Amino acid sequence: MTQARQKIIDAAISLFYAKGYNGTSVRDIAKQADVNVANISYYFSGKQGLLEQLVSDFLEGYLRIVEMTFEQRNFLSAKEVLFQMVRNILQYQFERRELTRFFYRELSLDSTLIREIMTIYFSKERYYIEQLIRQGQEKKEFQNVSFTMFMTQLKGMISMPYLYPQYISEVLHSFPSEVFFIEMYMKEVEQWMEQTLCIRHLQYPLPRVAYV
């Protein structure tokens, strides 16, 4: 990747995060990237092409994390793989906080472009998680839960820090951009999955035997 192209991408992420897609002009991006406006047309065919590139790159990396974790299912239990997958997703998003925030914000606006791209990648994510849950149910690791309801809640938890960062910081006085927050948040999500999905194997005390 050329230096100019990378500078354009970095500038676009920063500006889209701060001002939104519609609030950012091609000239804004070129000025912050310190490149000629024509470079944006050359590399991305304009602002919309740049948006498509950013979203596709984000989701390709996201899906790669999901697929790489899913490949461990032959060596680890379904529970271990699923929990690790969610941790990896949360870590991936945290390391790309500005782009993640921008992506979920655009997704909440129900943009046709974002929706079409998102459907391709998240349909694959759904498939992998559904396979893990079925495997876990067959192995008696997971309860028989509604997959639709589980995924609805899980996706809500995965996106929540980036949809409502102001609420978290201003009302709850926590900071989603800090490592401490995401580490604690991972633990809370895992605890929820444990209670919602996993079968608890109760340990009954052995009966006392009277010796005579």
Where does the pLDDT of residue 212 fall: very low under 50, low under 70, confident under 90, or very high at 90 and above?
A: very low
- The mean pLDDT of 183-199, rounded to a whole number, is 94
Task: Return the axis-axis angle of helices 37-44 and 26-33, rounded to nearest 10°.
Answer: 100
Domain that holds residue 8: 1-45
pLDDT for position 1: 64
Classify residue 205: in a domain, yes or no.
no
pLDDT for position 97: 92
Classify residue 33: in a domain, yes or no.
yes
Minimum mean pLDDT among 29-38, 41-50, 53-62, 110-119: which range? 110-119
List, for residues 104-139, the tens digit of each pLDDT value.
888 877 667 677 777 888 999 999 999 999 999 999
Angstrom distance (rounded) from CA 69 to CA 63: 10
pLDDT for position 169: 86
| Choice between 199 and 50, residue whose per-residue pLDDT is larger | 50
List, for residues 63-97, the tens digit of each pLDDT value.
999 999 999 998 999 999 999 999 999 999 999 99
User: CATH number for the domain including 94?
Assistant: 1.10.357.10
Phi, psi of 198 (to 5 degrees): -85, 145
Angstrom distance (rounded) from CA 79 to CA 41: 46
| Choice between 115 and 62, residue whose per-residue pLDDT is larger | 62
**34 and 55 in one domain?**
no
pLDDT for position 172: 85
For the entire predicted model, the pTM comes to 0.87
Classify residue 86: in a domain, yes or no.
yes
**158 and 110 in one domain?**
yes
**169 and 86 in one domain?**
yes
Classify residue 206: in a domain, yes or no.
no
**132 and 56 in one domain?**
yes
Classify residue 183: in a domain, yes or no.
yes
**41 and 59 in one domain?**
no
Classify residue 14: in a domain, yes or no.
yes
pLDDT for position 110: 65
**179 and 114 in one domain?**
yes
The answer on pLDDT for 41 being more than 70 is: yes
**114 and 31 in one domain?**
no
Nearest CA among 56, 53, 66 for reference residue 6: 53
User: CATH number for the domain including 24?
Assistant: 1.10.10.60
How far CA 78 is from CA of 23, 69, 75, 135, 136, in Å, comes to: 44, 11, 9, 6, 5
**182 and 85 in one domain?**
yes
Number of domains making up the chain? 2
pLDDT for position 202: 44
**37 and 53 in one domain?**
no
**170 and 130 in one domain?**
yes
The answer on pLDDT for 62 being more than 50 is: yes
Classify residue 210: in a domain, yes or no.
no
State percent of the chain over pLDDT 90. 66
**35 and 132 in one domain?**
no
**39 and 55 in one domain?**
no
List, for residues 158-171, the tens digit of each pLDDT value.
999 998 888 888 88
Classify residue 59: in a domain, yes or no.
yes
